[in-house]
Amino acid sequence: MRSNRAALRASVSMAATLPMIAGALALGIPAAHAADGPARDTLAGTRPAWATAAADRGATADGAQVRARVYLAGRDATGLAAYAKAVSDPGSAAYGKYLSARQAQARFGATAAQVAAVKSWLTAAGLKVTATTTHYVSVSGDVTSAERAFGTQLHNYAKGGRTYRAPAKTASAPASLDGAVLTVTGLDNAPHKAASKDQLPPPDAVFKNAGPFSSYYGSNVARTLPSAYGAKIPYAVRGYTGKQLRAAYGAGKRTGKGVRIAITDAYASPTIAFDAATYAKAHGDKAWKTGQLTQVLPSEYTRTEECGAAGWYGEETLDIEAVHAVAPDANVTYVGGASCYDDDLLDALSKIVDRHLADIVSNSWGDIEANQTPDLAAAYDQVFQFGAVEGIGFYFSSGDDGDEVAATGTKQVDTPANSAWVTAVGGTSLAVGKGDRYLWETGWGTEKASLSDDGKSWTGFPGAFTSGAGGGTSRTVPAPYYQKGVVPKALATANGKAGNRVVPDIAAIADPNTGFRVGQTQTFPDGVERYSEYRIGGTSLAAPVIAAVQALAQEARGGRAIGFANPAIYAKAGSRVYHDVTDRPTRASGLAVARVDFANGVDASEGLLTSVRGLGKDSSLSAVKGYDDVTGVGTPGNGYVESYRRR
C-alpha cells in the first residue's frame, strides 16, 4: 500500500497476483460452475497463477491456521447483473427505476436457507464461523479443515523470494449448495500478515510548498529562470481553490443541495472536522452545517504500521475538502476501512450499499491489475452491482503512474478502476486564468528536469517521466457495451481481438503542479501538531472532483439519482458538454511550469530545489481528440451539469 500525501493517491495492498479471468466473472457475474466430480462445483479463480508445479515447496502443515471469506452468490446473480445494466442505461425502459437497499437484498441477496446451508457445510468440515453478513461468511480453522471444506490441498509456493500458501488446485464447494457460493478468498495468503488491533498514529510529518507561486495560471512568470520550449514559463500555482474549480467545470449556481456523497479510504483522520472547517473558512467555501459531515468508522483498526495509517489522513482530507469546495451543500459521509486490505475496504463499500448511505461514492485508492485476483474481482463487482440497482454510482481514481511501465515494468491499468461497473476517473493538468476563466487542459503527465548548478539551463531537459494519469486497456475485463462505438478500436483491441475495457471514462484536474490546495493538521519538526496548507494532486483529486460535479448534476435533475453513470457519460461522448482534452491545447511546442521546493519539505534551512515540470507527457499514453486513455471522453464543460436536466 502506498499513500503519498505530497503528490499522489493511495494504493491498496491486494491479496495475490492472478490476472482476472475474462468473461462473465470479470463483469461480476459468477461464471457457471463446471462440474468437478459428481458432488462438487468449482469456484473459478481461486488458485493463483503463481501456484505452479515449479514453485511448489510441498504441503502446508496440517495445523497451520487459515482465515477465509466465503462470498455468497445470492438468489439470482445473473439477474442482479442484468438489472444493474437496465437501470443504468438511458436507453432502457427500466432506466432510473432503482430499488431500495431492502428491496435489492430481498430480490437478489442470499436467502436465509442459503446462508444456513453454507454455514452448515463449513462447520461440518471443522471450520469455525467467525462472522456472517449479507455478503459473506467468515471462517477460521486449520489447514486440514480448509482442505476438507474446499476440496483442494494447500501447498507452500515460492513467490518473489518468499513463500506463500495457496490451493494446489481450484477450490470447490458442494454441488448440493446449488450455486450459493460466489467465491472464496483467503486460501492464499500473499502478501497478508497476521492482523493485530492497533491505535491510530499521530499525523505525518509536515509537508509545505515553497514559492514563488502563481495565483492563477500564468500570473507569475519565471523571468529569471531559463526558458522551456522556447518561452519563459510561469511558476506553478499555489493550489487552486473551490471557486476556481467550480468555474472550470461549469458548476454555475448548483451546489449539490440535497445530494449525499460518500468517501472511502482506510483509517480516519482524528482532526478532519477541525481541518475541514478551518479550510472552508480560509478559502471562502460555505461553512459546514451541523450534521453535514458524518463518519462511519470501524470499531478497531489493524495493520496501521504496514499500511502507513497516517498517510491515509491526507487522502481523507483531500477527498472531503475537494468535495465540499466543488459541491458545498452536499452531505458527506466518510466511511473508513479498518485497514488498507481488500477485506476491510470491501466492508466499507458494503456498508454504503447495505445502508444506502449515499448516491455517489468517491474512492481514491487502488492497485495494479496484475495484483487483482478473480475471486476478489467478483466480490467487488457484486457490491458495485448491488449499488447500481439502488442508484449508487462508484467513482475510482485511475492511478498516478501512467501506463505503469516505469513502476512495474509491465503496461497495465489499475483496479478496481478497471471494473466494468465503476466510473474510472483520469487526470489532467488544468490552466485556470484571471477571473477564474477556464483556459485549457492537457492530459496529466509530468517530465521533470532540474535547474543546472549555474542556473542557466535545465539539466537533461525535458527530463524524465515522474507521474501521470493512469489509463490503458485491461488485459482481463471484456469491453463493456457502453464503450463500443466511442472507444477507438485500436485501444479496445490492444490486448485481444475480442476487445477489452479501456480506462478511464472521464477526467478532471490531477496534476500536482496545477493542483488543489488543502489544509491539514500535521506534525512539525518541533513535535507540535498544527494546521497548515499545501498543494496536492493525483487522480486522488480527480475522483472527488468528479464525484462533486456529479452531485451538481444530480441536483440539476431534481435530486433523482444518477446511479451507475457510465452509460449516460458515454451517451454524451463527442458533444460540447465535455472539454475535449488534448496534450497540445495551444500553439506552443510544449507547456511547462517552474516549481521551487524546500529540500527538506518544510523550510529553506536546507536549501531549495528548482525544476521545470513538463505538461502533457504521460508515459506512452496520449490525450488526443475524441476518446483517449488519459482523459476518457474528456472533462466536464459548461453544459455538462445542466445536461442531466433532460434525463
pLDDT in tens, 525-550: 999 999 999 999 999 999 999 999 99
Residue 593: strand pairing partners = 613
Q: DSSP letters of 488-557? A: -HHHHTTT-TT-EEEE-SEEEE--GGG-EEEEEEEE-TTS-EEEEEEEE-SHHHHHHHHHHHHHHHHHHT
Confidence label for 45 from pLDDT (cuts 50, 70 and 90): confident
pLDDT value of residue 624: 98
pLDDT band at residue 159, thresholds of 50, 70 and 90? confident
Q: Rounded mean pLDDT of the chain?
A: 92
Q: Using an 8 Å Cβ cutoff, are 442 and 450 in contact? A: no
Q: Can you tell me whether residue 414 is helix, strand or coil?
A: strand
Write down the domain spans for the chain.
Answer: 2-11+202-646, 25-74+110-189
pLDDT at 68: 96
DSSP state at residue 117: H
Q: What does the pLDDT look like over 346-383, one tens digit per residue?
A: 999 999 999 999 999 999 999 999 988 888 999 999 99
* pLDDT of 38 above 70: no
For the segment 574-633, what is each residue's pLDDT rounded down to a tens digit?
A: 999 999 999 999 999 999 999 999 999 999 999 999 999 999 999 999 999 999 999 999
Collapsing DSSP to helix, strand or coil, 627 comes out as coil
Q: Any idea which residue has 505530497 for its cell? A: 6
CA angle (235 as vertex; 231, 237 as ends), nearest 5: 135
605 contacts: CB under 8 Å, gap ≥ 6 = none
The answer to whether residue 11 scores a pLDDT higher than 70 is: no
Say if residues 311 and 4 touch (Cβ distance below 8 Å): yes
Decide: 580 and 626 in contact? Cβ < 8 Å: yes
Q: Is the pLDDT of residue 196 over 60?
A: no
pLDDT tens per residue across span 245-260? 999 999 999 999 999 9
Query: pLDDT digits over 275-292, tens only?
Result: 999 999 999 999 999 999
pLDDT digits (tens, 9 = 90+) for 379-398: 999 999 999 999 999 999 99
**In this structure, which topology does domain 2-11+202-646 adopt according to CATH?**
Rossmann fold (3.40.50)
* Weakest-pLDDT range from 29-38, 109-118, 264-273: 29-38
Please say if the pLDDT value at position 20 is more than 70: no
Residue 647: pLDDT band by 50, 70, 90 thresholds? low
Please, are residues 45 and 121 in contact by the beta-carbon 8 Å criterion?
A: no
pTM for the predicted model, two decimal places: 0.92
SS3 content of the chain, % helix, strand, coil (to 5): 25, 30, 45
By C-alpha distance, which of 406, 560, 432 is closest to 95? Answer: 560
Q: At residue 558, does pLDDT exceed 60?
A: yes
Instruction: Specify whether the CB–CB gap between 623 and 485 falls below 8 A.
Output: no
Could you read off the pLDDT of 210-221 as tens digits, one per residue?
999 999 999 999
